[in-house]
Amino acid sequence: MKNLARTCYSILVVLILISCKKDNIEDTDLPHQEEDKIITFTGSDNILYTLSLIQPAAPKIGINDLEVQIDKKGSGNNVSPVKDLTLAFTPRMPHMGNHSSPNNVDPVHSNDGRYKGKVNFTMSGDWRLHFTIKRGDEVLAEDVALDLLF
């Protein structure tokens, strides 16, 4: 009888350990997903920029509002919006022959580093948005890639 109680206790401990481990795995997945929505790149001017995906937060099949935020990193933790850029982008599906989609609209600056356009997801799956970023005639960064899965 004592052995049975000990066995039950051992099973209980193992179950608790397994459920704790599961929680840990889910926890470490979260920051990764957040990370994917912010891309850091170095411009041709050697300044560090970030491109953040704001919209679509919940992508759907068809035309979606596209909003990205571009900031530049200054000294310390200083971050300031960048308002003078020209963006061009192409959405592609890397695991489907890298095909694209029609009727996309390049994001243009609206306010405070926010650029707004349209992206057409012709199907669900994994999409990669390839951005070319210019300041006037100068290419600041080429093929800044942002991944999106839905």
Q: x/- string (CB under 5 A) for Cu ion, residues 109-128?
A: --------------x-----
CA distance 103 to 117: 11
The smaller minimum CB distance to Cu ion, of residues 47 and 149, is found at 149
The smaller minimum CB distance to Cu ion, of residues 43 and 91, is found at 91
CB of residue 62 to Cu ion, shortest distance in Å:
14
Tell whether residue 93 is a contact of Cu ion (CB under 5 A).
Answer: yes
Question: Which stretches of the chain are assigned E, i.e. beta strand?
Answer: 38-42, 48-55, 62-73, 79-81, 86-92, 105-111, 114-121, 126-135, 138-149
Taking CB under 5 A as the criterion, the residue among 11, 47, 61, 96 binding Cu ion is 96
The smaller minimum CB distance to Cu ion, of residues 81 and 94, is found at 94
CB of residue 126 to Cu ion, shortest distance in Å:
9
| Length of the chain measured in residues | 150
Q: Is the torsion defined by CA of 70, 71, 73, 77 positive or negative? A: negative
